Amino acid sequence: MQVVILKDAAEVAAYGADIFTTQLKRKANSVLGLATGSTPVALYQELIKRNQANDISFAEVTSFNLDEYLGLDGSHPQSYRYFMQQQLFDHINIDKSNTHVPPGDAKNPITACGEYEARIKSAGGIDVQLLGIGRNGHIGFNEPSSGLTSRTRVKTLTKATIDDNARFFKADEYQPHLSITMGIGTILDAKKVVLLATGENKADAVVAMVEGPLTAACPASALQMHRDAVIVIDEAAASKLKDIEFYKHIENENQKLLDYLASL
């Protein structure tokens, strides 16, 4: 696990955007795994800016989103498909037919999960998967107790997650309590994983993910098993980590090594 601690949310977004920029310049037809929630919004704004400045192109990109509410179709303002259109897809040169979000309105949600997995596989697998983290340590909608090798499936949301996400729904609006989410095993199959977390309310989840045991009680701890997982956090989200100075020291040493390699 690479732990990158930055000053604030703006630096976290810029760092995340740099990872995606590097990926797109290296491989124009990358397969990107995308996430919703408030955390990635600033990163998406940065990618939009870079796309509109012709620095990066999404013309050949295929994307797969982590999750969707079961029971909402893509035109529902609280659906994750709608969110992605508003926050990213409508503003970049991506071919919308190459963007995938689990179908919240699937007639048969069980077969839809298998089909989603098959689509990821036939696209060649995910090159870079973006993640946020829930306050209870969930990634995608893999709630605590999720199998660490799970695949895309229907998941019931915890009360904590429903309450956290209630802010997006109107008081009298139907809020789903079921989802379709990539599994932890699906996420771990991505070649690279980038998790962003900002703010003090993520500090407990971050310490459990980075310094806690590998456990289904904190689904994000499964990233300890990934060979290329980058955890990009601000000082507030990092505030409960025991080894902050060590992680910063590693980053300094990594930078020195990169500078040296660039000078060869």
Ligand X SMILES: N[C@@H]1[C@@H](O)[C@H](O)[C@@H](COP(=O)(O)O)O[C@@H]1O
Give the residue carrying structure tokens 């699937």. Answer: 106
CA 106 to chain centre: 23
Determine whether 215 is exposed, middle or buried from the number of CB atoms within 10 Å of its CB (0-12, 13-18, 19+).
middle
Determine whether 92 is exposed, middle or buried from the number of CB atoms within 10 Å of its CB (0-12, 13-18, 19+).
middle
DSSP 63: E
Contact between 35 and ligand X per CB under 6 A: yes
Judge whether 143 counts as a catalytic residue. yes
Judge whether 60 counts as a catalytic residue. no
Q: Which stretch binds ligand X (CB under 6 A): 34-42, 118-126, 211-219, 225-233?
A: 34-42
Q: How far is the CB of 77 from ligand X (least distance, A)?
A: 16
Q: At what angle do helices 9-26 and 41-52 cross, to 10 degrees?
A: 50
Residue (of 77, 74, 102, 88) closest to 168 by Cα position: 77
Of the pair 17, 35, the CB lying nearest ligand X is at 35
Determine the residue type at 218: C
Judge whether 177 counts as a catalytic residue. no
Contact between 104 and ligand X per CB under 6 A: no
State whether residue 88 is helix, strand or coil: coil
Site for ligand X in 129-188 (CB under 6 A): 132-134, 140-141, 161, 165
Judge whether 117 counts as a catalytic residue. no
Q: Which one from 136, 189, 226, 234 is the annotated catalytic residue?
A: 136
Q: How far is the CB of 145 from ligand X (least distance, A)?
A: 16
Site for ligand X in 49-78 (CB under 6 A): 66-67
Q: How far is the CB of 185 from ligand X (least distance, A)?
A: 16
Candidates 33, 37, 109, 137: give the one binding ligand X (CB under 6 A).
37
Q: How far is the CB of 142 from ligand X (least distance, A)?
A: 9
Candidates 22, 38, 111, 156: give the one binding ligand X (CB under 6 A).
38
Contacts of 183 (CB under 8 A, 6+ apart): 142, 146, 147, 149, 150, 151, 152, 153
Of the pair 38, 111, the CB lying nearest ligand X is at 38
Q: Which one from 46, 117, 138, 234 is the annotated catalytic residue?
A: 138
The answer to whether 219 and 182 are in contact (CB under 8 A) is: no
Q: Which one from 68, 117, 143, 234 is the annotated catalytic residue?
A: 143
Residues found near ligand X in the complex (CB under 6 A)? 35-39, 66-67, 132-134, 140-141, 161, 165
What residues are annotated to the active site?
Answer: 67, 136, 138, 143
